[in-house]
Amino acid sequence: MITIEFLGPIAQEDITIEANSLQDVADFLQKDPKLSPWLDSLAIAINDKLTDSLDAPLNDGDRVSLLPPVCGG
């Protein structure tokens, strides 16, 4: 089981799912109409390390953090 953590304005509680790769996470999130609009613009971290590969493997107990773009001055 992995935990998906939603940061910033996504306003979603953490969820736990079975996933072997980030592609599995993306496929799961794509099914949720509230979350799918965010998917193209997110930065993704596995256990606090940024990655951009959906092929990245996941292990039991990993935490996937979804970081939406931020703007500021």
pLDDT per residue over 21-70, tens digit each? 999 999 999 998 888 888 888 899 999 999 989 899 999 999 999 998 87
pTM summary value: 0.87
**Is pLDDT of 16 > 80?**
yes
- At 35 the pLDDT is 83
d(Cα 46, Cα 68) in Å, to the nearest integer? 15
- ∠ CA 42-48-52, rounded to 5°: 40
In this structure, whether the domain defined by 2-63 belongs to CATH 3.40.50.20 is answered with: no
